[in-house]
Structure 1
Amino acid sequence: MPSELSFERLRLECDPASVRCETTEDMTPLTGIVGQKRAVRALKFGLEIKDRGFNIYVSGFPGTGRTTVVKDFLEEKAKGEPIPHDWCYVNNFHDPYQPKGLKLPSGKGKEFREDMKNFVENARRATLRAFESEDYAKKREETIKSIKEEGSRLMIELNVKAQREGFFLQSTPMGLFVIPIIKDKPLSEQEFMALSPQLREEIQKRREGLDAELRNAMRQHREIDKKLNEEIQKLDREVILYAIGQLVADLKTKYKGFLEIATYLEDIQDDILKNIALFRGEQEARPSAPFPLQWAEEPSFRKYEVNLIVDNSSLNGAPVIIELNPTHQNLFGRIEKEARFGALTTDFTMIKSGSLHKANGGYLVIPIEDLLQNPFSYDSLKRSIKNEQIAIEEIGERMGFVAVKSLKPEPIPLKVKIVLIGSPILYQYLYSLDMEFNELFKVKADFDTTMDRTEENMQSYASFICTLCQKEGLKHLESSAVAKIVEHGSRLAEDQKKLSTRFAEIANIIREASFYASQEGSRYVTANHVKKTIEEKIYRSNLIQEKIRDMIERNILLISTTGEAVGQVNSLSVISLGDLTFGVPSRVTVSIGLGREGIVDIQREAQLGGRIHTKGVMILGGYLAEKYAHDKPLTLSARLVFEQSYDIVEGDSASSTELYAILSSLSGFPIKQSIAVTGSVNQKGEVQAIGGVNEKIEGFFEVCKAKVFTGQQGVIIPESNVQNLMLKEEIIEAVKGGSFHIYPVRTIDQGIEILTGAKAGSRRMDGTFEKGSINDRVDMSLKNMVDRLKEFPEFLVGKGK
């Protein structure tokens, strides 16, 4: 029979001297990343390689500091990298629906925007001054006078010729009228109609001869008017070119080398020449009602503005953007709209940038779970990575929901390193189901939840605490408190040789302990403050645990912690409430009779058993066949059940418990109810490690305390789980005092001996077991079942059909 564990093996304590400080105040703040060598190596590789598709997926569980670590790592690397360009959108004067993107060096975007604002203001003032000058008025008057004199000469000549033919030319708003003259007197319509037919016919013939010359004269007059307009426009263009020419030239000189800006400035100059009236202040009058306020604005000049969507002037290196809400608009930007007279309007000045624009030339960090929850975001991100450009688009237009024509800004070239942060399971899903994923995210950085409990890493724990206390103004920890934090780290890792890297949870313990230290007026956080923090944290969440314990104490849930029973064992399981995991005992019973069904799992039959639990139960049949069925068939019907269990039972950690119940029932040896059991088993009878061993032991210990503490109670655990023990100090004291016992076992034979106090019995040379042993009694019972079943041949035949 194996011996129980000594109290020294139940918890690996941390010597306060091993952290090498009196308080964390004496420690050097943490620099770098702790316990994630594999992830750091992968990150360095993924960030250094510049080939396409080598974006990074950071895999790990929440609380391991993935986002913080990646952010700090990227920011440190980005400091030494070049600052990316600024990006602007400007009006496309050839197609306003397709605004053009302009790239400028960092800081130049803001400067260019101000230069263009000043250019428009200066151009307006210069234009007004030029057109109000005496020189312009004189030239304009001379041009008009010269051309009008030409028109006047033409009209005089025409009028003289008309008089020779006996006509008078009268100018009216409707044009020129040819009026006959008799005796130097113009005739009215009535007087003309009173003339004799012969005279009217003669006058009409002379008029028809004059009409051809009149039409020719009118054509020449129109040409003179056209020439006047052209000359005035030419003069206006010359004046405005003189007014703004130097302004445009200055800008071209300042932005020499930027071909796109030079082209843009030429387009602006051409547009101003086409809209001279706008700059002269002769814009068409706005209606005064019913919307005077809206029309008071001057939107016409907005087309000359510069929409600076990315301003990197404040950066000291490459940008690092963390997008925690990766909606499509937040990632790719949007085109805003404004209401004017009941209609939605937009232009290039309403284009807003997204995270991809801001991170362009640097790094963009996105939580993958949030990305996948936002429609279109993931697909659009992949498209941008593949095409190496950022396209701002209306989702409604893509889906056909919006029929109104919208802007299609020129796509911006994309050069960014994408870092997705998510869980391992999401990585597996994406890698398996998305054929493009592994082509676009070729680097995986795995964040571990544990690290080795070495002296170096314990020092890192202390440095982490020092950094947190300095950063958040918390009270520093004494060395004894640091030692308790280290032990708690091993408890979270469920391993004496490991420490948890879930620094978010460690940080919360430190914050709460600092609070309790402040309440007590203590200068430093002590070990007692850490203990109180852990206890209070459990107390705030363990209401359900206490109610279950109360139901066991009042025998509502039937759990015996004293006495013996055949075919009945106390199993241990864990319940997780999210913020708290605790262990509870459950009664496992078995009923055995003649039959051919073998082992029947009632949980499975009632659809309350999970797949892993079902597998564990099926292994029991393999064990019985391996050990007892070499010389006979198994002819039993054994029905297993977790009593008073009304929810899904999952996991195989109770398979050894169920096997002990079967062996007890077959052998007739009673099981001690003072001992609870956990551990899975294989077909060879080896007891295997399980999870939650600390919670399970503590759960049974609390139940024993609540009922009757006899000093005989204990727990059987797999020997391979001894290294996972980080039990509460109360249990360690109980084991030290001999009032509680923990037994490690490697095999089922060892466990059944502890539970029954009888010898398991080894197999002899003749194939039988030691006389009177448990295995012998089981073997004999199975043989008797075979013999008795022969008395029912019809049952055997029925089963054989």
Structure 2
Amino acid sequence: MADIYNALCLTPEQLSSQFDPDALRFANTDELEPFLGVLGQERAVEALQFGVAMPRPGYNVFVMGEPGTGRFSFVRRYLKAEAKRLQTPSDWLYVNNFDDPREPRALRLPAGTAQQLITAIEQLIDNLLATFPAVFETPAYQQKKGAIDRGFNQRYDRALDVVEKLALERGIALYRDSSNIAFTPMKDGQALDEAEFAQLPEAERERFHTDVSELEERLNEELSALPQWKRESSNQLRQLNEETVTQALEPLLSPLAGEYCDNPDVCTWLQAVQADLLKTVVDQLVEDNRSDAQKRQALAEYYGPCLVVGHARDGGAPVVFESHPTYDNLFGRIEYSSDQGALYTSYRQLRPGALHRANGGFLILEAEKLLGEPFVWDALKRALHTRRLKMESPLAELGRIATVSLNPQVLPLQVKVVIIGARQLYYALQELDPDFQELFRVLADFDEDIPLASDNLEQFAQLLKTRTSEEGMAPLTGEAVARLATYSARLAEHQGRLSARIGDVFQLVSEADFIRQVAGDELTDIGHIERALKAKATRTGRVSARILDDMLAGVILIDTQGAAVGKCNGLTVLEVGDSAFGVPARISATVYPGSSGIVDIEREVSLGQSIHSKGVMILTGYLGSRYAQKFPLAISASIALEQSYGYVDGDSASLGEVCTLISALSRTPLKQCFAITGSINQFGEVQAVGGVNEKIEGFFRLCEARGLTGEQGVIIPWANVCNLMLDERVLHAVRAGLFNVYAVRTVDEALGLLVGEEVGVLGEDGQFPAGSVNARVVERLREIDALLDEPEDAGEEGENKEGESKDGESKAPAEAAAEPPVSA
């Protein structure tokens, strides 16, 4: 039997992959060149390069992978490098639409010139304030205006002179002021007051009234053309004002028109500005009594362009990352102001979004945040599909905006969108959204681990040098880099790979650098790395320490010595927050006559998840094909993972469960100094499981706390040997012969280790060797089958044998009934 143990026992060299610092060929990372690429992600890099270079629409990129693999930093760095070689997109402005202020117009200008136009308009406003109303105070204007006024007054005076002459002939005086015309009786060349007029004979008074009536009629006749005179005067004054304004605006607007003569949209808008100024400049600048500051603000709100996006002339294409992709942050928004409770807005209150800033370049978004915002995903698809960027409120379609809004001119959209997200989101979008595949045709898949080649290890060291230099941390020694490579392989759970979760390695380097600073050392060495790892394990180890204490106190029943029938030590992994640790768990099985089959207690109480239940069903298939070829598998058995009070998933306990069940069937005790993990198929082959390092270390901690005896060990699948990256404490115990790790390929190998004897090989005659464990299993199953068949035979013959109940139900014979069922 010792030969079996030796054949299946792993050597210390097989339990981990230690990196030799001497093979790194440098003393510390200061001797290395920086590494600016992404480590071991050639497939993803090629896909991203293709997606960025492909000019056709629909070739947007979805970058998928786990956080911490460097996907975001590489994508951003690569896009910025590519964007510098691309043409800088145009600048965009929104300006007032004087014909319909609710629909602002968009102006497109060459890159880097939008601010120049804004400055020019600001200078134009200053010049307007300096020009008006001063231009209306010049002698030439006043002279022309006076001539117009005099012409009107002369007409008016001539009409009054005719009436006044007729009034004097009748002894009546005509009086006029700025607003009234009155007639007064005269006597002896003197105007009479009311008292004197009352003393006149009644005939004279009547004659006066008659003459006044006639004079008023004549006055109306003479002044009947007064409205026409007024219109003609007003038209002349308006024409004079327009000529004056036009002459004053000409030197102000001509340079602008000449500068932007090659841009039809700007020229058209400048002409509209000039036409509007002809109508409003007198009201806004001449007759308005507001201060110059108030006038300037009003002009700026009416004529000043609203910048949508501006670029540096040679800045290349923009690369925009929107960390909070709400609808407004992506598509822009229309802001409102309140005046006495009423909301109002204007084109000057248009605020651009990330798509405006990224137009002509690249937009980076995070899938989880993007899909969590209402309205955004559908709107983004619509914009990419139509290649049009429209600024509107999503609430307007729902009728939730109860005020006048704007409808800005739609902008053409040319942007490459790069979405970064998890794998499950990518596959969910592919399955549920038919538009997704059409719009995001390029997938950049970042692997979770990296094949360990010589160049990858060197690049790993260069990447550490780059990060420490960027963060202002001390260089790393070769021993520290080798230890970090070992830690990365542990994260990858593979001796021939490094983890692509570079963020976790960088976090460890930062913590080690802090420990170095406290110690006052110049370089970060392996000792700082080890202390950082130990400190992290201490910070996150409260739950695991509490469980270990419960095991040592006997609250959680786990045996590490002796032997028992129908029970063995399984291995589980618990994840609490960002820490994962292994915990031994007792697996127990009971067998008794019946036809209920194998009952998975975890499933029956709804604690066993689907994969765990699948493992138990495979176990049933294996038992039937292995032991019940000549008779039906008719037993009642129950399997439980003892003292588990939460959900259980995974099939890694199926190897332990089948060994425990065979132990219960054959009444063969299993050694409790072992813990076992592994999945099986229906042919009894042992398959790989996850978390094997944590599981081994979890059982080792319990054995170490109780005292290592040299007999304790863990049984794992042979397929998991390449995943072993065990802690140095475990390696030290294995080297000292105090702890062992065994790798098995079949159930028989695992069972042989647990029972300490050969379990029996099926012979050519279809029989197991007499007295072997497997033979005892077949014998027990045949006994149970006979017990179940015997009452049926008695019932058929109609005999009342011993063991039959009064109501005719079958009972086991007294000999079998007296023997209690085997239980843990």
Alignment TM class, shorter chain as reference:
over 0.9
TM-score (normalised: structure 1): 0.93
1:433 corresponding residue in structure 2: 432
Cα deviation for residue 662 of structure 1 reads: 0.6
| In 1, Cα distance between equivalents of 2:664 and 2:258 | 99
Cα deviation for residue 526 of structure 1 reads: 1.6
1:775 corresponding residue in structure 2: 774
- Kindly indicate whether residue 623 of structure 2 is the aligned counterpart of residue 618 of structure 1: no
Q: 1:403 to 1:160 in 2, by over 3 A?
A: same
Secondary structure at 1:723 match in 2: helix
| In 2, Cα distance between equivalents of 1:585 and 1:157 | 126
Which residues in structure 2 correspond to 1:566-577 (within 5 Å)?
566-577=565-576
Secondary structure at 2:270 match in 1: helix
- Code of the residue aligned with 1:18 in structure 2: it is A
- Kindly indicate whether residue 93 of structure 2 is the aligned counterpart of residue 88 of structure 1: yes
| In 1, Cα distance between equivalents of 2:791 and 2:207 | 146
TM-score (normalised: structure 2): 0.91
Which segment drifts farther, 74-83 or 293-302?
Answer: 293-302
| In 1, Cα distance between equivalents of 2:549 and 2:232 | 107
1:50 corresponding residue in structure 2: 55
1:22 corresponding residue in structure 2: 27
1:119 corresponding residue in structure 2: 124
- Code of the residue aligned with 2:789 in structure 1: it is K
- Code of the residue aligned with 2:724 in structure 1: it is L
Cα deviation for residue 377 of structure 1 reads: 2.0
Cα deviation for residue 461 of structure 1 reads: 0.5
Q: 1:436 to 1:168 in 2, by over 3 A?
A: farther
How many residue pairs end up in the alignment? Answer: 792
Which residues in structure 2 correspond to 1:710-749 (within 5 Å)?
710-749=709-748
1:536 corresponding residue in structure 2: 535
Which residues in structure 2 correspond to 1:570-649 (within 5 Å)?
570-649=569-648
- Kindly indicate whether residue 217 of structure 2 is the aligned counterpart of residue 222 of structure 1: no
- Code of the residue aligned with 1:232 in structure 2: it is L
2:37 corresponding residue in structure 1: 32
- Code of the residue aligned with 1:113 in structure 2: it is I
- Code of the residue aligned with 1:565 in structure 2: it is A
Which segment drifts farther, 53-62 or 511-520?
Answer: 511-520
1:290 corresponding residue in structure 2: none
- Counterpart of 2:70 (choices 65, 74, 77) is 65
Q: 1:507 to 1:285 in 2, by over 3 A?
A: closer
| In 2, Cα distance between equivalents of 1:127 and 1:633 | 109
| In 2, Cα distance between equivalents of 1:202 and 1:334 | 74
1:10 corresponding residue in structure 2: 15
| In 1, Cα distance between equivalents of 2:101 and 2:689 | 68
Cα deviation for residue 304 of structure 1 reads: 1.4
Which segment drifts farther, 490-499 or 404-413?
Answer: 404-413
1:289 corresponding residue in structure 2: none
Q: 1:643 to 1:709 in 2, by over 3 A?
A: same
Q: Give identity over the alignment, percent.
A: 36
Q: Deviations over 1:283-323 (max 9, x none)?
A: 1569xxxxxx9989843542111221312127621111111
2:261 corresponding residue in structure 1: 256
1:349 corresponding residue in structure 2: 348
2:562 corresponding residue in structure 1: 563
Q: Which runs of 5+ in 1 are unaligned?
A: 287-292
Q: 1:519 to 1:298 in 2, by over 3 A?
A: closer
| In 2, Cα distance between equivalents of 1:165 and 1:424 | 110
1:331 corresponding residue in structure 2: 330
| In 2, Cα distance between equivalents of 1:474 and 1:580 | 26
| In 1, Cα distance between equivalents of 2:270 and 2:589 | 90
- Code of the residue aligned with 1:144 in structure 2: it is D
- Counterpart of 1:140 (choices 145, 149, 168) is 145
Q: 1:135 to 1:505 in 2, by over 3 A?
A: same
Q: 1:735 to 1:301 in 2, by over 3 A?
A: closer
RMSD: 2.9
| In 2, Cα distance between equivalents of 1:619 and 1:376 | 47
Cα deviation for residue 739 of structure 1 reads: 1.1
Q: 1:302 to 1:32 in 2, by over 3 A?
A: same
Residue pair 1:656, 1:681 contacting (<8 A) in 2 also: yes
2:442 corresponding residue in structure 1: 443
Residue pair 2:167, 2:215 contacting (<8 A) in 1 also: no
Cα deviation for residue 522 of structure 1 reads: 2.4
| In 2, Cα distance between equivalents of 1:173 and 1:230 | 22
| In 2, Cα distance between equivalents of 1:473 and 1:790 | 80
- Code of the residue aligned with 1:412 in structure 2: it is L
| In 1, Cα distance between equivalents of 2:110 and 2:296 | 33
Q: Deviations over 1:452-501 (max 9, x none)?
A: 00001000110001101111111111111111111111111001111111
Residue pair 2:185, 2:208 contacting (<8 A) in 1 also: no
| In 1, Cα distance between equivalents of 2:169 and 2:764 | 156
Residue pair 1:192, 1:200 contacting (<8 A) in 2 also: no
- Kindly indicate whether residue 491 of structure 2 is the aligned counterpart of residue 486 of structure 1: no
| In 2, Cα distance between equivalents of 1:216 and 1:578 | 102
Secondary structure at 2:689 match in 1: coil
| In 2, Cα distance between equivalents of 1:38 and 1:508 | 26
Secondary structure at 2:534 match in 1: helix
| In 2, Cα distance between equivalents of 1:7 and 1:439 | 53
Cα deviation for residue 574 of structure 1 reads: 0.2
- Code of the residue aligned with 2:307 in structure 1: it is L
Residue pair 2:655, 2:677 contacting (<8 A) in 1 also: yes
Q: Deviations over 1:588-646 (max 9, x none)?
A: 00010011111001111111110111111111111111112221111100100111111
| In 2, Cα distance between equivalents of 1:178 and 1:383 | 80
Which residues in structure 2 correspond to 1:257-296 (within 5 Å)?
257-278=262-283, 280-283=285-288
| In 2, Cα distance between equivalents of 1:768 and 1:564 | 27
1:305 corresponding residue in structure 2: 304
Residue pair 2:612, 2:648 contacting (<8 A) in 1 also: yes
Which residues in structure 2 correspond to 1:643-722 (within 5 Å)?
643-722=642-721
1:233 corresponding residue in structure 2: 238
1:390 corresponding residue in structure 2: 389
Residue pair 1:92, 1:100 contacting (<8 A) in 2 also: yes
- Code of the residue aligned with 2:512 in structure 1: it is A
- Kindly indicate whether residue 752 of structure 2 is the aligned counterpart of residue 753 of structure 1: yes
| In 2, Cα distance between equivalents of 1:167 and 1:199 | 13
| In 1, Cα distance between equivalents of 2:437 and 2:367 | 14
Q: 1:179 to 1:706 in 2, by over 3 A?
A: same
Cα deviation for residue 413 of structure 1 reads: 1.7
Residue pair 2:30, 2:475 contacting (<8 A) in 1 also: yes
Residue pair 2:160, 2:219 contacting (<8 A) in 1 also: no
- Kindly indicate whether residue 163 of structure 2 is the aligned counterpart of residue 129 of structure 1: no
Residue pair 1:127, 1:279 contacting (<8 A) in 2 also: no
Q: 1:192 to 1:77 in 2, by over 3 A?
A: farther
1:78 corresponding residue in structure 2: 83
Secondary structure at 1:63 match in 2: coil
Which segment drifts farther, 619-628 or 94-103?
Answer: 94-103
| In 2, Cα distance between equivalents of 1:555 and 1:796 | 50
Q: Deviations over 1:485-518 (max 9, x none)?
A: 1111111100111111111111111112222223
Which residues in structure 2 correspond to 1:394-405 (within 5 Å)?
394-405=393-404
| In 2, Cα distance between equivalents of 1:766 and 1:280 | 115
Secondary structure at 1:468 match in 2: helix
Residue pair 2:748, 2:759 contacting (<8 A) in 1 also: yes
Secondary structure at 2:30 match in 1: helix
- Code of the residue aligned with 1:233 in structure 2: it is R
Q: 1:796 to 1:586 in 2, by over 3 A?
A: farther
Q: Deviations over 1:570-593 (max 9, x none)?
A: 000100113111100000000100
Q: Deviations over 1:735-788 (max 9, x none)?
A: 122111111111101110111012121222222212111111111110111101
Which segment drifts farther, 51-60 or 654-663?
Answer: 51-60
| In 2, Cα distance between equivalents of 1:161 and 1:431 | 101
1:103 corresponding residue in structure 2: 108
| In 1, Cα distance between equivalents of 2:527 and 2:283 | 79
| In 2, Cα distance between equivalents of 1:478 and 1:489 | 16
2:494 corresponding residue in structure 1: 495
